């Protein structure tokens, strides 16, 4: 699934620079300003979001770019190409609702939507478990935790496949030799 990235840098009037990037199969995007490092960062993030919008959101969380997270989630939901991707988008929206605005009932509502879109997806169920725990609903959180072993790797959206799925399964224990 190799894709090629092309681009160019041009000088503009007034000391500005234009950096244009194009990933095969997409339209070119141009970034302009006076700081080439900043333009390269913007271009790289643009390409990252277009290639892996789910992990781009996690990147934004990890870099404390809280103002950019909701628009990125809304973009992911808008471009979702299947139920798995859409479910993950709503799961991230529920996570954002819980963590950024602290509205636990609304977070749970969004997470239930995510689970209804793809009942086989792990992320909404994990997020519902965490939200129930945050609400002080320990029995509901325990019921959610007991559901976790039923999820299968092959049913998960692409970003949780392979070792990633194993890493997010909180019920797995490492066996000592």
Helices (H), the chain: 36-51, 53-62, 66-79, 83-96, 104-117, 122-134, 138-147, 163-167
pLDDT-above-70 percentage for the chain: 88
**pLDDT of res. 103:** 97
Residue 92 CB partners (closer than 8 Å, separation 6+): 54, 57, 73, 76, 123
d(CA 156, CA 32): 39
Q: What's the token pair of residue 85?
A: 């991707």
Q: How far from 167 is each of 90, 153, 173, 174, CA to CA, in Å?
A: 21, 11, 11, 11
Quick check: 154 pLDDT over 60?
yes
How would DSSP label each residue in 119-147?
TT-HHHHHHHHHHHHHTT-HHHHHHHHHH
- Find out whether 100 and 66 touch, Cβ atoms under 8 Å: yes
Average pLDDT rounded to a whole number, residues 1-25: 92
**pLDDT of res. 143:** 86
**pLDDT tens string 51-93:** 889 999 999 999 999 999 999 999 999 999 888 899 999 999 9
Quick check: 170 pLDDT over 80?
no
Quick check: 120 pLDDT over 60?
yes
Question: 4 φ, ψ to 5°?
Answer: -110, 140
Record the pTM: 0.78
Lowest-confidence segment of 31-40, 84-93, 151-160, 161-170 by average pLDDT: 161-170
The model's confidence at residue 161, banded by pLDDT at 50, 70 and 90, is: very low
pLDDT-above-90 percentage for the chain: 66
């Amino acid at each position: 699934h190799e894709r090629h990235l092309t681009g160019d840098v041009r000088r503009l009037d007034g000391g500005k620079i234009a950096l244009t990037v194009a990933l095969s199969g997409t339209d070119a995007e141009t970034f302009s300003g006076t700081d080439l490092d900043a333009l390269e960062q913007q271009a790289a993030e643009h390409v990252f979001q277009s290639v892996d919008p789910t992990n781009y959101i996690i990147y934004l969380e990890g870099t404390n770019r809280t103002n950019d997270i909701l628009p990125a989630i809304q973009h992911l939901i808008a471009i979702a190409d299947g139920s798995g991707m859409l479910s993950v988008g709503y799961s991230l929206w529920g996570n954002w609702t819980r963590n950024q605005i602290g509205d636990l009932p609304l977070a749970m509502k969004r997470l239930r939507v995510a689970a209804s879109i793809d009942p086989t997806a792990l992320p909404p169920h994990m997020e519902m478990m965490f939200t129930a725990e945050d609400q002080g609903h320990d029995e509901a959180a325990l019921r959610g935790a007991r559901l976790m072993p039923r999820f299968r790797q092959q049913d998960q959206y692409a970003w949780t496949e392979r070792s990633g799925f194993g890493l997010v399964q909180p019920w797995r224990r490492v066996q000592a030799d």
